[in-house]
Amino acid sequence: MDESTTTEPPVLLDGARVLEYAWLPREEGDSERMRGLVAGVPLAAGVVSTLVIAENLVEQGVFLIHCDDEWGTVIGESYADVESARIAAAEAYRGDTVAWVRFRDLTEQEVREVETTRTFLREIAAEFPPG
């Protein structure tokens, strides 16, 4: 774990419920080397330092969200399940150890917030379907 990033991500990140998260190791000269290739986009090591696997609240599946030090989204991808997202992270960041941390149990208030967000997002998706 990177000592400069010690806080967990928020419960909801970009409208998705965080299930697991990880810190990518820091190395000297990170800003000059490429860290990984995500959805065909090469990412510099200094750009992505944390990862999140989050539940898609609209439909089945999860997101693999590549984040900065403050859990800000750099890029995200959709996967069928947690294991597929873990495999994709391992492939994107070959050579880096990705040690996933299970997000803690939610408080009652957080559960209500997640369910309210889920309902809202599903209503929006029904009203404005893609395509």
Q: Structural domain boundaries of the chain?
A: 12-127
How far is 11 from 88, CA to CA, in rounded Å?
Answer: 22
Q: Are 53 and 112 in contact (CB under 8 A)?
A: no
pTM over 0.75: yes
Choose the weakest-confidence range: 19-33, 65-79, 97-111: 19-33
Instruction: Average the pLDDT over 31-47 and give the result.
Output: 67
How far is 5 from 86, CA to CA, in rounded Å?
Answer: 20
Instruction: Average the pLDDT over 3-23 and give the result.
Output: 87
* Contacts for 40-46: CB closer than 8 Å, 24+ residues apart: 41/75, 43/74, 43/75
